Chain A
Amino acid sequence: GAGVSQSPSNKVTEKGKDVELRCDPISGHTALYWYRQSLGQGLEFLIYFQGNSAPDKSGLPSDRFSAERTGGSVSTLTIQRTQQEDSAVYLCASSLGRSNTEAFFGQGTRLTVV
């Protein structure tokens, strides 16, 4: 597609369940970012991929959070044993990398843990 695509757009899950969020970056973009935006809050950095590797995982809030990227393209963010404080909008962005630094954002996945 023409832009960054995230799925699902909305997810309601029960506390304690695992969820998987998907991000399809723009084709050819080597850099991929995950951020979390809680209600009324700013953008919290979670993890950054350059290709398939993640040089910076410092933002993952706990060991319940993990992310992977395969084929230098699709990325999945997995949250295990979800808690109510995990409720937020999870945003994915991609950019071309060294030669071009503009990041394009997806519409986000709104996660609600009940």
Chain B
Amino acid sequence: AQSVTQLDSQVPVFEEAPVELRCNYSSSVSVYLFWYVQYPNQGLQLLLKYLSGSTLVKGINGFEAEFNKSQTSFHLRKPSVHISDTAEYFCAVIIFNNAGNMLTFGGGTRLMVKP
């Protein structure tokens, strides 16, 4: 079985401060990992993904995430946030099996950037 846990439901942070949104997954086999972002009143869009190779993945808008296999984590970071980063962030994992691929999401983390 696989599951994705986002440890923080809300993260308030001041503008220009660094931020880390935490994500842990549980799976007995290799996984692919994603972060999606949902801006207010908009659909979900892909922020970044880890499929293989370098464990440090860079995405859009200055975000990056690091895959840590031993800790089964894929935390999202940004060194300096902007007001426009206020959104809901979803971590997701996909695992291949004989039936195809299955995308499972965490509960989401609401990032609230304050001036």
Q: Chain B interface (Cβ within 8 Å of chain A)?
A: 6, 32, 34, 36, 42-46, 49, 51, 90, 92, 94, 96, 99-108
Contacts and interface: CB of A to CB of B under 8 A. Distances in A.
B25 to A, nearest CB: 15
Q: State which size class the interface on A falls in.
A: 20 to 34
A56 B102 CA distance: 9
Contacts of A31: 100-101, 103
Nearest to B100: A50
A42 B105 contact: yes
A105 B45 contact: yes
Given A42-B90, A101-B94, A105-B43, A95 B107 contact: no
B100 A108 contact: no
A105 B54 CA distance: 26
